[in-house]
């Protein structure tokens, strides 16, 4: 597989920061997932089968419900529309949606319909049995009319639409096509997580998100290599009028294929525990990124990182913004220094991710106008005190206020790039204020590092860090090294800035 370089991280972080402004309309099959854990210690005397001694169970939303769950956990708003049964499983789904703060007036309930439920029984984290309770049933005329009415009412509030088809009947018999037509008329993008072999039912959708196996089934042949993926996707685009296809490829990442272009995004190497619901996370993240202003390749890069996180979890998993930010940061690698230049919001999410991983986070700040040995020594010493180091960098306007109209010599972009390339620095954040107090309050680092020319009492933010349980470290400076001194030598030699 040809690996293409991932998009620049800054627009990806900007897209993540806008997730909170996005509303996604989700229509499809809502499923109740039940996970029963236990141990097997004997074989039944009644039949040659193991006896599972239950040790606990957990309920979660599956299918379209898991899409909604991921959208909410990523900080966005979701509007669910579907028809479920007026039964115990349906009650559980309504209760869980309510706990997420999601309105459920778009979920019609019918006593003649069974809410799909899947029970998974596991021993020592190994699934030994799955028990499904469901009835594959298309919508009645009355149910269909109600769903369309709820959909039209909700569409005006939504930025993007997801059709989550798990083949249980909600989107059968032309319902998916009718919803897609309504979206097209309203100018709203619609993404489909497809099911089955016949993708004609999704004709006109903005994009579909099949996995490699589903893509092959849709064109009637096996697909593996890049060119086979592209050919299959373009066959579907030509036949059904999709704008593009986003194909998930397990350990090979994702492919984004349009009629004229194709991009292949390599996955991150991660230990896989459970792929349950990973596709739900992928389409939820992809939709949010698109609605937040990312192009389809950027959106796929975010969705790819998201999928890499949830396959490392057990059960039907959902993703947080902090986990996505951490995965995105790791995906660009330590040598891609542009990845380390973040805004305050992205840095706060990354710091939260590092802390959740049990890493200590340090912080230091300064103008760092002309980098010299004293700066390098300070940053090396600061990094030695923590697992990750964030550097707060004064903006150009801030430097001018502090140092005078002739400063800085190097603008904030150049200074940030040089600093981010240092092995001792894990993230750089430019701040506009004269002091980094607001940034320190947002990040709450474990360790605050400054030069020994300060005292603890004069270090900005020391009280904030100490109150939060952190500490202040003062490190020795290299004598005779300063940007002001360097500029003085240059001017003495007849060189001016």
| Rounded Cα gap, residues 373 and 402, in angstroms | 22
Q: Which residue of the set 280, 369, 426, 446 is catalytic?
A: 280
Q: DSSP per residue over 223-260, as a string?
A: --SHHHHHHHHHHHHHHH--SEEEEE-GGG-EEEEESS
Q: What is the pLDDT of residue 312?
A: 62
Q: What is the pLDDT of residue 269?
A: 46
Question: Tokens at residue 217, please?
Answer: 């089934």
At residue 134, does pLDDT exceed 60?
yes
Q: H-helix or E-strand containing 406?
A: none
Q: Is 125 a known ligand-binding residue?
A: no
| CATH number corresponding to 9-331 | 3.40.1190.20
Q: What is the pLDDT of residue 311?
A: 74
Q: Closest Cα to residue 213, out of 226, 197, 231?
A: 197
Helix, strand, coil percentages for the chain (3-state, nearest 5): 40, 25, 35
Of 16-30, 104-118, 342-356, 471-485, the range with the lowest mean pLDDT is 471-485
> What is residue 211's DSSP assignment?
B
Instruction: For the chain, give the percent of residues with pLDDT over 90.
Output: 73
- Mean per-residue pLDDT for 335-360? 81
Question: Tokens at residue 286, please?
Answer: 């992809």
pTM, two decimals, is: 0.76
Of 320-324, 394-398, 421-425, the range with the lowest mean pLDDT is 320-324
Of 163-177, 245-259, 315-329, the range with the lowest mean pLDDT is 315-329
Question: Tokens at residue 171, please?
Answer: 């989107």
- pLDDT tens sequence across 441-469: 999 999 999 998 899 999 999 999 999 99
Contact between 170 and 135 under an 8 Å Cβ cutoff? The reply is no
| Residue ranges, CATH 3.40.1190.20, the chain | 9-331
Question: Tokens at residue 301, please?
Answer: 């890069």
Residue 226 known to be catalytic: no
| CATH number corresponding to 340-492 | 3.40.50.620
| Residue ranges, CATH 3.40.50.620, the chain | 340-492
Helices (H), 112-247: 141-155, 175-186, 212-219, 226-240
Q: Is 212 a known ligand-binding residue?
A: yes
Q: Is 304 a known ligand-binding residue?
A: no
At residue 66, does pLDDT exceed 50?
yes
Confidence of residue 365 (pLDDT cuts 50, 70, 90): very high
Q: What is the pLDDT of residue 100?
A: 96
């Amino acid at each position: 597989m040809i690996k293409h370089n991932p998009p620049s991280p800054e627009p990806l972080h900007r897209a993540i920061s806008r997730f909170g402004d996005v509303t996604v309309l989700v229509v499809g099959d809502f499923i109740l997932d039940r996970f029963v854990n236990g141990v097997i210690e004997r074989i039944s005397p009644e039949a040659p089968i193991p006896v599972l001694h239950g040790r606990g169970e957990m309920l979660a939303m599956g299918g379209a419900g898991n899409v909604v769950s991921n959208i909410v956990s990523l900080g966005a708003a979701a509007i669910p529309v579907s028809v479920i049964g007026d039964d115990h499983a349906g009650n559980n789904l309504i209760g869980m949606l309510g706990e997420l703060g999601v309105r459920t007036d778009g979920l019609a309930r019918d006593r003649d319909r069974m809410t799909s439920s899947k029970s998974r029984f596991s021993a020592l984290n190994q699934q030994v049995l799955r028990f499904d309770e469901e009835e594959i049933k298309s919508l009645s005329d009355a149910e269909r009319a109600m769903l369309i009415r709820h959909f039209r009412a909700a569409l005006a509030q939504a930025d993007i639409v997801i059709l989550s088809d798990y083949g249980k009947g909600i989107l059968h018999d032309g319902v998916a096509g009718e919803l897609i037509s309504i979206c097209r008329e309203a100018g709203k993008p619609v993404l489909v997580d497809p099911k089955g072999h016949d993708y004609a039912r999704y004709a006109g959708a903005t994009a579909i998100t099949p996995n490699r196996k589903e893509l092959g089934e849709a064109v009637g042949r096996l697909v593996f290599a890049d060119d086979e993926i592209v050919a299959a996707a373009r066959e579907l685009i030509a036949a059904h009028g999709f704008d593009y296809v986003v194909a998930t490829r397990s350990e090979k990442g994702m492919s984004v294929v349009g009629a004229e272009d194709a991009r292949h995004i390599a996955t991150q190497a991660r230990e896989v525990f459970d792929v349950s619901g990973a596709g739900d996370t992928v389409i939820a993240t992809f939709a949010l990124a698109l609605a937040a202003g990312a192009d389809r390749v950027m959106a796929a890069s975010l969705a790819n990182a998201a999928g890499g996180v949830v396959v490392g979890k057990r059960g039907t998993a959902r993703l947080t913004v902090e986990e996505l930010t951490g995965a995105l940061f790791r995906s660009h690698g330590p040598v891609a220094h542009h990845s380390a230049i973040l805004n305050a919001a992205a840095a706060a999410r990354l710091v939260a991710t590092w802390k959740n991983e049990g890493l200590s986070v340090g912080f230091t700040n300064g103008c760092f106008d002309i980098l010299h040995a004293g700066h390098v020594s300070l940053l090396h010493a600061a990094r030695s005190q923590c697992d990750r180091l964030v550097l707060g960098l004064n903006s150009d306007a801030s430097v001018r206020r502090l140092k005078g109209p002739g400063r800085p010599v190097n603008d904030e972009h150049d200074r940030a790039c040089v600093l981010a390339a240092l092995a001792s620095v894990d993230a750089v954040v430019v701040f506009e204020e004269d002091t980094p107090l607001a940034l320190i309050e947002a990040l709450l680092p474990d360790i605050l590092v400054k030069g020994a020319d300060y005292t603890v009492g004069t270090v900005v933010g020391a009280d904030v860090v100490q109150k939060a349980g952190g500490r202040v470290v003062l490190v020795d400076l290299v004598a005779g090294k300063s940007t002001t001194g360097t500029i003085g030598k240059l001017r003495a030699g007849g060189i001016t800035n």
